[in-house]
């Protein structure tokens, strides 16, 4: 496979467009098994092509809505750089997130500081960097902004209707109730501040399309209040909550027509209102998969009595310990209310399945990934893969108990890469042995891999004007 450099410590392997992701995982496992010190390592594979395809889908389904990627969802620099190149805006919640985005060469007018409650230090930093679009939902925030950044363009975050099913509620923390918006706008007027529009967030991981249409209707009512007070509202921020993987309870294809109809009804193009959104998981959830290694195993047949629903056939159960857990990438189980699925990577095929629990590597009993699933019997050294692990995973992970974070490898279909960066990265030569999964390697394959001489991979990054060679 060709390897290109996407920036500091970001090498991207290009592969054929029709290559299944599990094949990429198996090849990476085989490579790691040849490295004595790294053969157990957990790792992410990030498909940057998946992120690019999501951008295309967004433009197709919501042509009037500009995406401002929610940086908090996944702060990976390759994701930020790719989305910056594609032309998205960015939803930032802190000084550090603003800094990360500005490092990608993004113009400050492509950033919305979408945190209704900011520290004085953060507001001062935003003013210095000319990031002037920011949200608020209370009077004390207005006073801070008046004192530190009076020229800011403000967006009033309102509380949308809360009677819809979502993965994570946000209305319990942010959003001015519609009954109080008029008085809050009056205070903004008294302070001489420039309120330019309305924002809302229906909740992360929405399950009902009508949540968006109901929120748009309420936003239209608050727009009228602003106009009555003499504000020139020209911006609507419809927030996030958009699904990012196939297992989500609702699809973008189901949300888009409902949302578009509401926008065209309440904010038709003739009103000249700029419409933005803050999608996070939509762009990255399905782009990242996580592969872990079984590092320990226990038989717990004594925990199950024959006849119980968890073990109706009396076969017993197994506990497996893997090298990432809820203090690491699986924090999404606690913080994001996520559900995960374990897939076999290199275990021997066996039709007999057992009740299985999967545990993380720390010493805490809370560190459980799956309580009761069905898997064949595994051995120490076998691998499990968890798809759809790009949203709210690595960004909130820790190294509790001294456990390392997984490695990260970037991939992209070559056709997608060439479309995104025509001529920007020229591969001069490439010759890398095609790898098989560890359990598929025969002795002649292993000998060929171990004896192969690495051929230099050379390319020129025209944007950074750097010529590099990789051996």
* Residues belonging to the active site: 363
Count CA within 13 A, CB hemisphere, residue 65: 30
Query: Could you tell me whether strands 43-47 and 407-413 are parallel, antiparallel, or unpaired per DSSP bridges?
Result: parallel
464 — phi, psi (to 5°)? -95, -5
* Three-state secondary-structure class, residue 404: coil
Query: Tokens 């750089």 sit at which residue?
Result: 81
Strand order in the sheet with 466-470: 425-429, 457-461, 466-470
146 — phi, psi (to 5°)? -60, -40
Query: Tokens 């290559």 sit at which residue?
Result: 19
Taken in order 110, 279, 123, 198, the sign of the CA dihedral is: positive
Q: Are 95 and 124 in contact (CB under 8 A)?
A: no
Query: Tokens 């001062």 sit at which residue?
Result: 124
- If one counts every other C-beta atom within 10 angstroms of the C-beta of residue 265, the result is 12
Q: Are 331 and 396 in contact (CB under 8 A)?
A: yes
DSSP assignments along 329-380, one per residue: GGGHHHHS------EESSSPP-S--EEEEEE-SSS-TT-EEEEEEEE----T
Taken in order 357, 389, 97, 193, the sign of the CA dihedral is: negative
What does the alpha-carbon distance between residue 401 and residue 385 come to, in Å, rounded to a whole number?
A: 23
Q: Can you give 60-101 as a three-state secondary structure string?
A: HHCCCEEEEEEHHHCCCHHHHHHHHHHCCEEEECCHHHHHHH
What does the alpha-carbon distance between residue 109 and residue 468 come to, in Å, rounded to a whole number?
A: 33
Query: Could you tell me whether strands 425-429 and 43-47 are parallel, antiparallel, or unpaired per DSSP bridges?
Result: unpaired
Q: Under the phi-then-psi rule, with left for phi > 0, alpha for psi from -120 to 50, and beta for the rest, what region is 358?
A: beta
Angle of CA points 240, 280, 359, to nearest 5°: 120
């Amino acid at each position: 496979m060709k390897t290109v450099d996407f920036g500091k410590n970001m090498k991207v392997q290009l592969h054929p467009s029709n290559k299944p992701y599990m094949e990429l995982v198996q090849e990476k496992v085989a490579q790691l098994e040849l490295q004595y010190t790294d053969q157990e390592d957990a790792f992410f594979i990030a498909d940057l092509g998946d992120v690019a395809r999501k951008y295309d889908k967004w433009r197709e389904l919501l042509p009037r809505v500009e995406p401002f990627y929610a940086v908090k969802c996944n702060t990976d620099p390759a994701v930020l750089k790719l989305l910056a190149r594609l032309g998205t805006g960015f939803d930032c919640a802190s000084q550090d997130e603003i800094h990360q985005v500005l490092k990608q060469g993004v113009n400050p007018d492509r950033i919305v500081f979408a945190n209704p409650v900011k520290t004085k230090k953060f507001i001062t930093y935003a003013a210095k960097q000319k990031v002037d679009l920011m949200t608020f939902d209370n009077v004390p925030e207005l006073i801070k902004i008046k004192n530190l950044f009076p020229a800011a363009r403000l967006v009033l975050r309102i509380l949308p209707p809360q009677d819809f099913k979502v993965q994570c509620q946000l209305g319990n923390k942010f959003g001015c109730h519609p009954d109080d918006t008029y008085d809050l706008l009056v205070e903004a007027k008294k302070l001489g501040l420039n309120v330019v529009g309305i924002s809302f967030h229906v909740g992360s991981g929405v399950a009902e399309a009508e949540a968006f249409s109901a929120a748009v209707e309420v936003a239209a009512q608050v727009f009228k209040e602003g106009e009555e007070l003499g504000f020139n509202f020209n911006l609507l921020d419809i927030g996030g909550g958009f699904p990012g993987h196939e297992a989500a309870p609702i699809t973008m294809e189901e949300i888009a027509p409902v949302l578009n109809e509401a926008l065209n009804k309440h904010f038709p193009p003739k009103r000249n209102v700029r419409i933005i959104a803050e999608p996070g998981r939509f762009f990255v959830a399905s782009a990242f998969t996580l592969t872990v290694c079984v590092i320990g195993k226990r038989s717990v047949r004594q925990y199950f009595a024959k006849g119980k629903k968890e073990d109706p056939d009396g076969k017993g159960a197994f506990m497996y310990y893997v090298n990432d857990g809820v203090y690491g990438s699986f924090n999404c189980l606690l913080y994001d209310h996520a559900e995960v699925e374990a897939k076999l990577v290199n275990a021997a095929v066996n039709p007999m399945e057992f009740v299985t629990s999967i545990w993380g590597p720390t010493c805490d009993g809370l560190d459980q990934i799956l309580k009761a699933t069905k898997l064949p019997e595994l051995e120490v050294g076998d691998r499990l893969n968890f798809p759809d692990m790009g949203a709210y995973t690595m960004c909130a992970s820790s190294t509790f108990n001294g456990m390392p974070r997984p490695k990260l490898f970037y991939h992209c279909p070559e056709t997608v890469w060439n479309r995104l960066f025509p001529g920007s990265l020229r591969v001069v030569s490439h010759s890398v042995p095609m790898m098989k999964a560890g359990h598929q390697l025969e002795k002649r394959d292993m000998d060929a891999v171990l004896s192969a001489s690495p051929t230099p991979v050379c390319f020129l990054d025209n944007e950074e004007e750097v010529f590099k060679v990789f051996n």
